[in-house]
Amino acid sequence: MTLNIQAVRSKFPALASGFLYGDNAGGSQCLTDVAARISDYLLNTNVQLGADYPISVTSTNRVASGAEAARELFNAESVDEIAYGSSSTMLVENLARAIEADVQPGEEIIITGEHESNAGPWKKLAARKGAVIKLWPATQLAQYPNNPYAVGLQLDTLTPLISSKTRLIAFTACSNILGSIVPVKDVISAARALAVERGARKIEFCVDCVAYAPHRQIDVRDWDVEYCYFSFYKVYGPHASVLYARSASLQNSLSSLAHHFLKVDSKPYKLQPGGPGYELVYGCTGVPPYLRSLTAEGTLEAAWAAIAHQEQALLEPLLAYLRAKYERGVRIVGEESAGLARVPTVSFVVVGERPIRSPDVVKAFDAKGDVGIRYGHFYAFTLVDKLEPKLNVDDGVVRISLVHYNTVEEIKRLVDILDEVLA
């Protein structure tokens, strides 16, 4: 399951500069093949879809292959369950508009304090429809009693929120702040059973996989989820996003946002009021072949296992260093230990007798000129705002986010710079 890191890095031209990309949760680097496909589409097949002349047929087929690439990464049953959009936030806004007629006044939507893409659209929908928003909060993990910032989404704080009025539960598969993986299948199974037991009219789930998709395999069928989305630009592709909507939900829960004369009762065009960026959709077809090329088995399953293995080699030394700086005031935000339930998105703060503001920690990295990390709330405003003891939400946390093309040598460089900052 060991990756050939030099071969991996050769697929990403940006990495040849030697710059240390440590802000991958904000956006990964792009594959050569992805950029080549975008260029080829624009230079050779940049025509409208659906006509009978040869170049249009080619263009139509290329865009259709983009839906197939996303279907494969979701493990969806059909390309008719895949909608493209310019961003994850826009796709969820579209979903909230499309589901609006099927949400009744007084029904409840449960959200988390994680990335606002899976919270803001539901809050606005609730305001329009007279629905009720409930917050599933991240709470302190019992195994870290001395670190109040070691928090996570826990099932026992969700179950009391479920009632006969619960209509939708929107949560993340992986936190873009905490780095912790939520057991999606277990959460959905338990919550769905409770909602049925308590008499809910209809219960559906919307899972944010933006911070999950670069690290682990999505499986919407195994998870039994109605809606799920991620951004390809976090997964080595172009700036495009995709939403999975289960066929039954497309037919029975959603109203069309498309033109009135289009017959789209069971099609993802319900959620696409206009065509996506065709060249970007085609560019996304370069991602699955890259993943399959990572291992001799040539399967996505083997690729994601190898990626997880490589990322643990990056994660453990970084977490170990931060834990060792506890007396200096360093507090990891989220799970403190490595393991398959955690990805290498690591956030921390420096508090205590000699606190350091998060912007000042990052400023020291910026001064090096060849390394990039970041500070802030990363659109998980509510999560950061509710951390106790209270933090300045605008300063937020320091975040170092790694992926499988990062190296152990780069971890050593990051640690050396942190040593200078914390001295």
- The candidate with the shortest Cα–Cα distance to 382, out of 125, 132, 137, 92, is 137
pLDDT above 70 covers a percentage of the chain that reads 100
Tens digits of residue pLDDT in 134-168:
999 999 999 999 999 999 999 999 999 999 999 99
The pLDDT score that the predictor gives to residue 268 is 82
Backbone angles phi, psi at 347, to 5 degrees: -115, 150
Q: Is the pLDDT of residue 52 over 80?
A: yes
Q: Which two tokens stand for residue 402?
A: 């790694």
Looking at residue 264, its pLDDT comes to 78
Helices vs. strands in the chain: H and E counts, helices first: 15, 15
Q: What is the pLDDT of residue 59?
A: 98
Residues 376-394 pLDDT 10s: 999 999 999 999 999 999 9
Domain with CATH 3.90.1150.10 in the chain: 5-31+296-422
CB 115 within 8 A of CB 229: no
Q: Mind listing the pLDDT tens digit for each residue in 71-96?
A: 999 999 999 999 999 999 999 999 99
Find out whether 210 and 88 touch, Cβ atoms under 8 Å.
yes
- Can you give the pLDDT at residue 367? 98
pLDDT tens profile 257-297: 998 888 877 778 899 888 889 999 999 999 999 999 999 99
How many whole angstroms from its chain centre is CA 342? 14
What pLDDT sits at residue 23? 98
Q: How far is CA 193 from CA 42, 188, 224, in A?
A: 49, 8, 12
DSSP assignment of 271-299 equals: G-SS---HHHHHHGGGHHHHHHTTSTT-S
Start-end of CATH 3.40.640.10 domains in the chain:
44-289
Is domain 5-31+296-422 given the CATH code 3.90.1150.10 in the classification? yes
pLDDT score at 276: 87
| Continuous H helices in 259-366 | 278-283, 287-292, 300-324, 358-366
Please state the rounded mean pLDDT for residues 223-236.
98
> Can you tell me whether residue 229 is helix, strand or coil?
strand
pLDDT tens digits, one per residue of 239-263:
999 999 999 999 999 999 998 888 8
Q: CB–CB of 207/172 below 8 Å? A: yes
> Residue 221 above 80 pLDDT?
yes
The CATH architecture of the domain made up of 44-289 is 3-Layer(aba) Sandwich (3.40)
What percent of the chain has a predicted confidence (pLDDT) above 90?
95
Report the chain's mean pLDDT, rounded to a whole number.
Answer: 97
Phi, psi of 27 (to 5 degrees): 155, 125
Which residues does 420 contact at the CB level (< 8 Å), separation at least 6?
364
DSSP state of 417: H
3-state secondary structure 230-241: EEHHHCCCCCCE
Question: What average pLDDT does this structure show over 31-49?
Answer: 98
What is the per-residue pLDDT for 273?
86
Q: What is the pLDDT of residues 184-196, one digit of tens each?
A: 999 999 999 999 9
Task: For residue 91, give both structure tokens.
Answer: 């796709």
What local confidence, expressed as pLDDT, does residue 256 receive? 94
What is the pLDDT averaged over residues 349-355?
A: 97
Q: Among 358, 376, 364, 363, which residue's Cα sits nearest to residue 417?
A: 364
The answer on pLDDT for 123 being more than 90 is yes
